[in-house]
Amino acid sequence: MGRELGSGGARPGVGGHPEAGQRVRGRVLAIVNQKGGVGKSTTAVNLAACVAELGERVLLVDMDPQANATSGVGIARGSLSGSIYQCLIGASQAEEVLVRDVGLPGLDVLPATIDLAGAEVELVSVLSREYRLKEALAGIRGEYGLVLVDSPPSLGLLTVNALAVADGALIPIQCEYYALEGVSQLMRTLEMVKRYLNPGLEISGVLLTMYDPRTRLSEEVSRSVREYFGDKVFKTVIPRNVRLSEAPSFGKPVIMYDGHSRGAEAYRQAAQELLAREGLGSAGAKASEGRG
């Protein structure tokens, strides 16, 4: 596991978080990992819901053609008159397809549909194709404390769009075999986007998911990730939890499906930690007081 992480690309030592308590409105975090099944959509949905529950306005942007984040908050894709796809191709403004207060006050969603699958092909010949999401969000991002972008399990044009607008990349890594496979490739992609498209891009955080304290493997993966990424790794870990797995089929974030489950409590803690890291909400204010 350690050899894979050290085999290529720069170590994640560049960039840092805002000073604790420094309120940065409209900060965009792209949730990225080209591996499937690591908990990207689960993390996007549940962090967004928990941030809203904590009183911070949050925008969830679904950039995955599978639209799992869209259905995961209970939006029926067939009922949508528009989606982020129309924004990317310039057919609609974000305000026209935005779904507001989805399940919780302050949780807004830019939904996805299967149409998004064609966007990569359609945008190939478009001028400034890597910045289409940035342009779409320009007029609304300031309304929110955080904007969370759920990216597809690839390093294609949709993910590049997410990284081109992002202030930070949030990387979920599952505590399972082969979890670290491809991390070096992801790091190289982040460095390339930083060099050529978005000089301000940083690694905002790494979140360990599907952690099972009963297994040696989970502990080994956790140790390897923490050795490599250092304090960029969240202290909170997301456990394997049946309620977390069930919630998407009911179209609810886990805090609305079973708010007392281990999964719900873990994402609440992760959201508090995220706000403190980003200098937002009461968590950020308390961190600032502690520093004073």
Task: Report in angstroms the alpha-carbon separations of 72 from 43, 56, 229.
Answer: 11, 20, 29
**pLDDT reading at 198 higher than 60:** yes
- What pLDDT band is residue 124 in, cutting at 50, 70 and 90? confident
Write out pLDDT tens, residues 107-123: 999 999 999 998 888 98
pLDDT higher than 50, residue 287: no
Instruction: Say if residue 50's pLDDT is above 80.
Output: yes
- Rounded Cα gap, residues 254 and 247, in angstroms: 5
pLDDT-based confidence at 182, cuts 50/70/90? confident
- Please count the residues of the chain: 292
What is the amino acid identity at position 177? Answer: Y
User: CA nearest 70: which of 29, 114, 133?
Assistant: 114
Matching residue, tokens 């994640």? 12
What is the structure's pLDDT at 3? 35
In the chain the domains, ranked by start, together with CATH numbers, are 24-285 (3.40.50.300)
Give the pLDDT band of residue 15 (cuts 50, 70, 90).
Answer: very low
CB-based contact 193:164 (threshold 8 Å) = yes
Side-chain half-sphere of 22: how many Cα atoms within 13 Å? 9
Q: What pLDDT does 282 receive?
A: 63
For range 260-288, the mean pLDDT:
83
The percentage of the chain sitting over the pLDDT mark of 90, rounded to a whole number, equals 74
Q: How far is CA 96 from the centre of its chain?
A: 23
